[in-house]
Amino acid sequence: MQCKKVTASREKLLDPAATEWSSIPGESLTMAATPLANQPSEYIKASRDERQIGKVKSLMVQSAHNGSEIFFRLTWGDQEADTKITDNNIFPDGCGILMPLNGGDPPIEEMGTKDFPVNAWFWRADFNDKAHNTVARGLGTTLFSEKCPIQTKSLFGQGAWAVVFTRPLAVPDQKEETAQLAAGKAIKVGFAVWEGSNGERAGLKSFSKEWRELTLDA
């Protein structure tokens, strides 16, 4: 996957509907259910059917940077936006970007390990575009960092969600909490989507199965 170097302004790229995105290359990823056998809860394993998990089967990912900030635009089809927890049995839509926190090859389907943590950028429809920056060291260990260097902007229309994430490439004061990126370098990335109407939350989601190599233009 390519992260294209662009000159468009931050304001433009942060807008999921901006025309600038039409000239940025993207890739359509096949999404699959997270493995039920790995769920860190016997209850979840006993009460779910893997075939019912991961309602979103395909995700379009585009990426660009302007030398100081990186942008991702995630788009996927959804008949209805689930934006608020209006009752106990209602769950909002969400999406996330995953990358190794300090490089290496952490297992993507296990959300990293103690020694090889992963960094997730997490957007949920009920967060009012206040993204979460999280670190995980294994399944069910995700913790939010207090300071979040990520910004998101989302848009729902014509049966699709479009969510843009942006973050400075380098965040030197949060090295323990968020992955450090640089132009000309490659990183591993993974993606996840939660379909709220399907009761998807926590580890119940669709994901991109394996790491993808994302090369940032020099």
Partner 1 sequence: MAEQDAAQLQLQKEQRAKQLAEEAKSIKAKLRYSKRQVAMVFDLNKCLGCQTCVVACKTLWTRDEGMEYMWWATVNTQPGKGTPRDWENMGGGFRDEEPEAGKLPVTSDFGEAWEFNYEEVFFGGKGNSVHLQPSGNPDWGPNWDEDQGGGQYPNSFYFYLPRICNHCTHPACLEACPRNAIYKREEDGIVVISEERCKGYRFCMEACPYKKIYFNHARVLSQKCIFCYPRVEKGVAPACARQCPGRLRFVGFLDDENGPIYKLVKKWEVALPLHPERNTEPNVYYVPPISPPRFDADGNIDESKPRIPTAYLKYLFGDKVEATLDKLKAEMAKTKAGGKSEILDTLIAYEWKSLFGPFTKDPAELEPRKV
Binding site for partner 1 (CB under 8 A): 35, 37-44, 46-47, 85, 87-89, 110, 126, 139-142, 201-203
- Closest to partner 1 by CB, 16 or 92: 92
Cα–Cα nearest to 69, from 174, 153, 166: 166
- Closest to partner 1 by CB, 52 or 68: 52
Rounded to a whole number of angstroms, the minimum distance from the CB of residue 211 to partner 1 is 16
- Closest to partner 1 by CB, 71 or 91: 91
Rounded to a whole number of angstroms, the minimum distance from the CB of residue 161 to partner 1 is 20
Rounded to a whole number of angstroms, the minimum distance from the CB of residue 198 to partner 1 is 14
- Closest to partner 1 by CB, 110 or 129: 110
- Closest to partner 1 by CB, 11 or 105: 105
- Tokens for 32, please give them: 């699959």
β-bridge partners, 44: none
Rounded to a whole number of angstroms, the minimum distance from the CB of residue 88 to partner 1 is 5
Cα–Cα nearest to 74, from 196, 158, 166, 4: 166
Q: How is 154-209 classified by DSSP, letter by letter?
A: EEEETTEEEEEEEEES--GGGTTTS----TT-EEEEEEEEE-GGGT--TT-SEE-S
Answer whether 164's CB lies under 8 Å from 60's CB.
no
Cα–Cα nearest to 139, from 207, 83, 186: 207
Spatial separation of the C-alpha atoms in residues 63 and 82, rounded to whole Å: 25
Answer whether 54's CB lies under 8 Å from 139's CB.
no
Rounded to a whole number of angstroms, the minimum distance from the CB of residue 201 to partner 1 is 5
